[in-house]
Amino acid sequence: MNLTVYLAGQIHDNWREEIANLADEKQLPLTFVGPQTDHDRSDNIGEEILGKQPDSYYKDNAASDINNFRTQVLLQKADIVIALFGEKYKQWNTAMDAAAAIEMNKPTILVRPSSLIHPLKELSNKANVTVETLEQALEVIHYIYD
Amino acid sequence: MNLTVYLAGQIHDNWREEIANLADEKQLPLTFVGPQTDHDRSDNIGEEILGKQPDSYYKDNAASDINNFRTQVLLQKADIVIALFGEKYKQWNTAMDAAAAIEMNKPTILVRPSSLIHPLKELSNKANVTVETLEQALEVIHYIYD
Amino acid sequence: MNLTVYLAGQIHDNWREEIANLADEKQLPLTFVGPQTDHDRSDNIGEEILGKQPDSYYKDNAASDINNFRTQVLLQKADIVIALFGEKYKQWNTAMDAAAAIEMNKPTILVRPSSLIHPLKELSNKANVTVETLEQALEVIHYIYD
Amino acid sequence: MNLTVYLAGQIHDNWREEIANLADEKQLPLTFVGPQTDHDRSDNIGEEILGKQPDSYYKDNAASDINNFRTQVLLQKADIVIALFGEKYKQWNTAMDAAAAIEMNKPTILVRPSSLIHPLKELSNKANVTVETLEQALEVIHYIYD
Amino acid sequence: MNLTVYLAGQIHDNWREEIANLADEKQLPLTFVGPQTDHDRSDNIGEEILGKQPDSYYKDNAASDINNFRTQVLLQKADIVIALFGEKYKQWNTAMDAAAAIEMNKPTILVRPSSLIHPLKELSNKANVTVETLEQALEVIHYIYD
Amino acid sequence: MNLTVYLAGQIHDNWREEIANLADEKQLPLTFVGPQTDHDRSDNIGEEILGKQPDSYYKDNAASDINNFRTQVLLQKADIVIALFGEKYKQWNTAMDAAAAIEMNKPTILVRPSSLIHPLKELSNKANVTVETLEQALEVIHYIYD
Amino acid sequence: MNLTVYLAGQIHDNWREEIANLADEKQLPLTFVGPQTDHDRSDNIGEEILGKQPDSYYKDNAASDINNFRTQVLLQKADIVIALFGEKYKQWNTAMDAAAAIEMNKPTILVRPSSLIHPLKELSNKANVTVETLEQALEVIHYIYD
Amino acid sequence: MNLTVYLAGQIHDNWREEIANLADEKQLPLTFVGPQTDHDRSDNIGEEILGKQPDSYYKDNAASDINNFRTQVLLQKADIVIALFGEKYKQWNTAMDAAAAIEMNKPTILVRPSSLIHPLKELSNKANVTVETLEQALEVIHYIYD
C-alpha cells in the first residue's frame, strides 16, 4: 500500500532529504511531497509569474497566492502529514498547515524539540502523535506496515 | 441579527475588552467568546482538575486537553473569528485556531502589525480579511450591518 | 417558521426594497439580507478601512476581501437565496453567489428576463426554480407557507 | 504525480489546445478535461438526444441538463480548475463553474485580461490565484512540480 | 425540546391532521411540516406561477421545480422525518423523500401496511424504525421525551 | 478516463446487458455495476447466509441487510448512476437508489417511459438528465467523451 | 450561552441526576439529554410499540431500532458529550456512542475509573478529555464559562 | 474491482489469517488491513518509539497515540469494515472502530456469537449486516461480486 506524505515545516535545512533517505533504507513505499524548499524562489514566485509588484507587501501577497495553491493541491493528495518545528523562526506556516491538515482529518505527526513542549502543547494535543526526531516520525509510519 | 465572534490570539493584554467596548459604542449585537485569558489558569487547568502530574510535560499535556475542549465548543458556536497576532510570543495557538477556523469555513479576520506582513503572508492570504488594528476589524464586522 | 433570504444580484436599482414590500403585503415572516447596495461604498470599502492603496487594482483587491467576508457571513445564515439578473452589467458576482449557494445546498430561485434565457440556461438548470419577476419569486416562497 | 485539470471558460477559440501544447512542451503530466467546445453541438445536444422541443426555451432547457451532467462528472474528477475569462460574451458559465469549483475546495486559477479586474474582483478574490495569460496559469501549475 | 417533523407521503387523505391531533393529545412539543397537500394546487403550481406551458410534460416540469424547492427548504429544517406509504398510488415522491432524508442523516420513521413489507424491505432497512400505524410512529417520537 | 456506472432499477429483464453491449459498440471505457439481478437470489440471500428465519417478514429483513450492503459498496464506487423505471412493479428501490445517489452528488440519469412523466416528475427534476431509452442514456454518457 | 450535553453510559445507577444536581449547584446553563434510563423499558420498547416478536433476538432487534432513533435525534442536538464507563457491564453502547460522537466532531469527555485505563486507552486518546469523576467532568464544562 | 477490507477486533487468535485464507480459496480480489496483531508490540509501541514513560498510565497514553494513528490511516483506505466480537475481553476498541466506521459511511459487517446478541443489539442495528461466523462475513462480501 503506497502512501503519500506531506512534509510541512521550515525550509532552511535538508530535513526532507533526510527523511526520504530513511524511508529508502527501510524500503517503505512512501511518496513525499511538500512546499517549495528554495526559500528565495518561494518568496519571489509571485513577482516571477505575475511581474513586479508595487512594494514588498504586494510582493508577499502575490507569492502567498501561489504558495497556498501548491499546498492545497498537495495536501489534498496526502494520506499522512508530518509537521516539523525547529527552534528557530516563527514557523506560522507549519502551524497553519498542521492545523488545516488535522481539520481535514489527515493523520498527522508533529516533530518538535523538547524545548518547544510548552508553546506547542495545544497543537501537539490535536495531532495524532508527537515525536522529537525524524527517525521516530518514520518509525510511526513504519508501524502501519508491520 | 446577532452574531457570535470567537477572539483567537494572545492572552497577555486586554485586547478582548477593548474590542468589546468598541462594539458597545457602535451598538453592534455581537457576543464575544474566546480562550481562557488568565494565563496561569490556562497553564494549570490540567492539574487543577486532574491532579498533580509527573512533570511539566504531562502537566502541559493535561492542560491542553481542556483548553482544546473549550476552544472546540466555542469555535463551533462562532459565526465569525478574529485572530490577533502581536509582535511578541510564538502565538502558535493563534495560527492553529485561525487555520482550523478557515478550514471550518468560518469567516475569519486576521489582525497583525505591519512588521509581521512577511511571516504571516500565507495565513493572511487564506483569511478573508487582514487588518492592522482592532478598530479596523470591528469596522469590517460593522459593514455587515450597513 | 421564520426564514432568512439572501438577495444576490445587481445593486443599481431598488429591487430589494420592492421585494421586502411585497413580503410585507403578504405578511410573510421573512428576513432579507444581501450585499452592500451603496455602489460607491462597496467599491471604496477597502480603502475606507485599510487606507489608500497603490492603484485601482489594489483598491479593488482590498474592497473584494471585505465584500466577500460580508457575503460569506450572510449566505451561511440564509435559508433561501434569490439571485436576480437584469439586462445590463456583467453581473459576475450574481453568477458567483448563485453557484456558491447551490453548491452549499441553499434552495435557490433565479430571476431573469426572458432575453437572458440562453446565456443563463446552465445556471438556471442548476437553480431550483427560475422565474421572470420578483412577484413570481415571492409566490414561490409564499407556496412554502400554504 | 498526474493531475487532472478542468478548463472552464468560453469555447470560441482554441485556448484549450494552446494550454495543452504548453503543458506538452514543459512535459507536465497533466490531463485536461472541460466542457463541450463545439458551440453548436453544445447548444443542440438536448434536441439531438431527446428530440425536437416546443421552442428555443425548451431546447435550451434540454441542452443545459446534458451540459451540466458533463460538467459535474468531469469537475468531480479534477484536481485543479483553470477558469478563463475573455473580453467578449457574458461568460456566466465560467463564473458559475469557477464558483462551484471553489466551493468544492478545488484549487482554482482565474485567467482574465486586466480590463476585467474591476468586474471580476470578488471572484478573483475567492480563487487561489489570478493571472492574465495561459502561460502564467501553467507556470503556477508547473511550480507544484518544482 | 421542540422538534420539527417533516411528514413525507401521499396527500390523498388527512393523515397529517390525524398525527397532529395525536401529538396535541400527548402534548408533545412538535412542529409538523410537509409537502403541499392540495393535490390540484401541487399539480398546477408551475403554471400558476410561471404561466401556461406548452403541454402536460412542461406543466409537470414547472410544478416539480417548485414542489422540490418547498421540500428542500422544509426538509433542511426538520429534526425527524416520518414517511408514510399507503396501499394505493406509486408514491415515488415518498420513497425519494425518505431516501434523501436518510442520506442527510435525518432520523427517519417509515409507516407502511404489512401488505407492503416485501416491496419496501430495503427502504425499511435503511430507515431507523418501521411501524404500521401513525399511533406507533408517534409513540416512537414520544419515547424521546420519556 | 474510465468511469464506473451504477445501474439502478428493476431486475426483471436484461436491460443491463443491453446497455453494456451498447457501450461496447461505442467502445466507451465504462465499468457497469449494480444490484443482484437474480431475483430469487436477491430475495433469498438473507436465509442463504444467515439461515432459516421465523417467517417471511424476517426473511425479507435479513435479505435487505445484505442487498443494501452491496448497494452501498458499489454506489460509493460509482462515478455516474443510471436509474431505470419501467411500466410495471412498484420499483421503490429504484426511487430510493436514485434519490440517495443524487443526495451523494453522483451525476444521475433517469430513464423512464413517457407514460410515467407525471408520477416521476419530482424525481426527474432532481436527476441531472431524464431520457426515455437506454440508447439516449448512453448518448448522454458518450457526450462526456466527445 | 446555553449548551446541551448528551450523557452516554450505563443506566444502572443515578449518575445522570447527580451530574444535573452538580450543574444546578454551579448554576451552569446546561440541558442534559441521554438514553432511556429505565432498563426494562429500554429492553421492551420494541415489543411495546411493535407488538410481540418471535423470540428474544427479534425483540432485541425491535428495541434497538427505537433506542438508536432516540440516540440519533438527541446526539445531533448535543453541543457536548459526556461518556461514562463504570467497572461493571460490557458497556458497548457507551463505546459506540462516544466513538460516533467523536466522529461527528462533538467535543467529548470520557469518565472512567483508573482501573479501566488500559482497556480504554485508545478511546480515551480520541476523546477530548478523560477524567475519573463526575465532578471533574463538570469542572471541565464549567471552565468554558470562566 | 479490488476492495480493501479493514478487520477490526480482538488480536488474540488468528482469525485474520483465517479470513484471508477463505478469501484466497474463493479467489476474491480483497486486500485486508487491520490493527497491530502482536499484543505486546501494540502495548509497548509508545515506549518503543518515544522512550520510557513515568508509569503505566503514560505508557498506555503513548501507545494509544500510535495505535490510533495506524487505525485512522488504514480505516480511511478501507472500502468495507468487518468488526469481530468474541466472548472474551472488553473489546472496546472493536466497538469504537465499528462505530467510527459506520459514522464514516463505511459499509460494515458485524461478526458476533449468538451469546452476545443482547449486549450488542444497538451496534448490530447500526451495522449493515450482522453474522455469526467468518464464513458468513465473507459470503456477504462474495455476494457483491456475483
The per-residue pLDDT for F13 is: 86
Whether G58 contacts chain F with CB within 8 A: yes
**Is the separation of the CB atoms in E75 and E97 below 8 Å?**
yes
Chain A positions in Cβ-Cβ contact with residue B124 (cut-off 8 Å): 61, 64
Determine B/C contact with 3+ CB pairs under 8 A as the test: yes
Strands D129-131 and D108-111, by their bridges, are: parallel
Q: Phi and psi of D112, rounded to 5°?
A: -155, 150
- The DSSP code for B23 is H
Closest partner residue to C140 among E49, E74, E77, by Cβ?
Answer: E49
Q: Which residue of H has its CA nearest to G44?
A: H118
Whether E54 contacts chain D with CB within 8 A: yes
Whether C49 contacts chain B with CB within 8 A: yes
H56-83 pLDDT tens trace: 999 999 999 999 999 999 999 999 999 9
CATH of the domain at G20: 3.40.50.450
Q: Which residue of A has its CA nearest to D105?
A: A72
Question: CA Rg, chain C, in Å?
Answer: 16
Chain B, window 66-95: residues with a beta carbon less than 8 angstroms from a chain C beta carbon? 79-80
Phi-psi region for residue A105, left (φ > 0), alpha (ψ -120 to 50) or beta? left
Q: Which domain holds residue A135?
A: 3-145
In order of A133, B11, D78, H47, H60, the CA distances from H51 in angstroms are 12, 34, 44, 4, 12
Q: Which residue of H has its CA nearest to G72?
A: H126
Whether D19 contacts chain A with CB within 8 A: no
The per-residue pLDDT for F12 is: 82
The per-residue pLDDT for E12 is: 83
In the sheet that holds G108-111, the strands lie side by side as: G30-33, G3-9, G80-84, G108-111, G129-131
Whole-number percent of chain D with pLDDT over 70 = 100
Does the pLDDT at position B11 exceed 90?
no
User: Contact E69/C130, CB-based, under 8 Å?
Assistant: no
Tell me the average pLDDT across C60-64.
96
At residue D2, the 3 state secondary structure works out as coil
Report yes or no on whether pTM surpasses 0.95.
yes
F32-88 pLDDT tens trace: 999 999 999 999 999 999 999 999 999 999 999 999 999 999 999 999 999 999 998
Alpha helix (H) ranges present in H2-91? 15-25, 39-50, 56-77
Tally of structural domains, chain A: 1
Tell me the average pLDDT across E69-74.
98
Q: Which residue of E has its CA nearest to C138?
A: E49
Whether F52 contacts chain G with CB within 8 A: no
The per-residue pLDDT for E56 is: 94
User: Contact E58/D54, CB-based, under 8 Å?
Assistant: yes
Alpha helix (H) ranges present in A78-133? 92-103, 121-126
Determine A/B contact with 3+ CB pairs under 8 A as the test: yes
The per-residue pLDDT for H146 is: 87
| Top-confidence residue, G12 or G75 | G75
Q: Phi and psi of C19, rounded to 5°?
A: -70, -35
Determine E/B contact with 3+ CB pairs under 8 A as the test: no
Q: Which residue of A has its CA nearest to B115?
A: A57
The per-residue pLDDT for H13 is: 86
The per-residue pLDDT for E89 is: 86
Query: H145 to chain F nearest CA, in Å?
Result: 9
- The DSSP code for C90 is -
User: Contact D103/C104, CB-based, under 8 Å?
Assistant: yes
User: Contact C58/A58, CB-based, under 8 Å?
Assistant: yes
Q: Which residues touch H120 (CB under 8 Å, ≥6 apart)? A: G92, H85, H110, H112, H130
Chain D positions in Cβ-Cβ contact with residue F130 (cut-off 8 Å): 65
H102-130 pLDDT tens trace: 999 999 999 999 999 999 999 999 999 99
Does the pLDDT at position H12 exceed 90?
no
B112 vs B124: CA distance, rounded Å: 9
Tell me the average pLDDT across E69-91.
96
Does the pLDDT at position D121 exceed 90?
yes
User: Contact B69/G139, CB-based, under 8 Å?
Assistant: no
Whether D41 contacts chain C with CB within 8 A: no
G138 vs G29: CA distance, rounded Å: 12
Query: H102 to chain G nearest CA, in Å?
Result: 8
Tell me the average pLDDT across E51-74.
96
pLDDT band for position F146 (cuts 50, 70, 90): confident
Closest partner residue to F131 among D49, D70, D76, by Cβ?
Answer: D49
The per-residue pLDDT for A12 is: 82
Does the pLDDT at position D146 exceed 90?
no
Chain A positions in Cβ-Cβ contact with residue B126 (cut-off 8 Å): 68, 96
Closest partner residue to E65 among C80, C105, C129, by Cβ?
Answer: C129
C96-127 pLDDT tens trace: 999 999 999 999 999 999 999 999 999 999 99
Query: H28 to chain G nearest CA, in Å?
Result: 30
Q: B65, B91, B92: best mutation site toward chain A, by most A Cβ within 10 Å? A: B92
CA atoms within 13 A on the CB side of G108: 24
Closest partner residue to E1 among G41, G45, G77, by Cβ?
Answer: G77
**Chains in contact with A via at least 3 Cβ–Cβ pairs below 8 Å:** B, C, D, H
Query: H139 to chain F nearest CA, in Å?
Result: 7
G100-123 pLDDT tens trace: 999 999 999 999 999 999 999 999
D18 vs B9: CA distance, rounded Å: 48
Average pLDDT, whole number, for chain G? 96
C113 vs C133: CA distance, rounded Å: 8
Detail the DSSP E strand segments found in F60-134.
80-84, 108-111, 129-131
Tell me the average pLDDT across B106-129.
97
Tell me the average pLDDT across A17-34.
97
Q: Read out DSSP for D5-68?
A: EEEEE--SS-HHHHHHHHHHHTT--EEEE-S---HHHHHHHHHHHH---SSHHHHHHHHHHHHH
Q: Comparing C-alpha atoms, which of H75, H126, H123 is closest to residue H101?
A: H75
Tell me the average pLDDT across D17-35.
97
Question: Which cell is B56 given?
Answer: 511539566
Whether F104 contacts chain D with CB within 8 A: no
Query: B52 to chain C nearest CA, in Å?
Result: 44
The per-residue pLDDT for A68 is: 98
| ipTM of model | 0.95
pLDDT band for position C13 (cuts 50, 70, 90): confident
Whether B26 contacts chain G with CB within 8 A: no
Whether F55 contacts chain G with CB within 8 A: yes
Whether H128 contacts chain F with CB within 8 A: yes
Chain C positions in Cβ-Cβ contact with residue A58 (cut-off 8 Å): 54, 58
Q: H11, H89, H96, H132: best mutation site toward chain G, by most G Cβ within 10 Å? A: H96
Does the pLDDT at position G13 exceed 90?
no
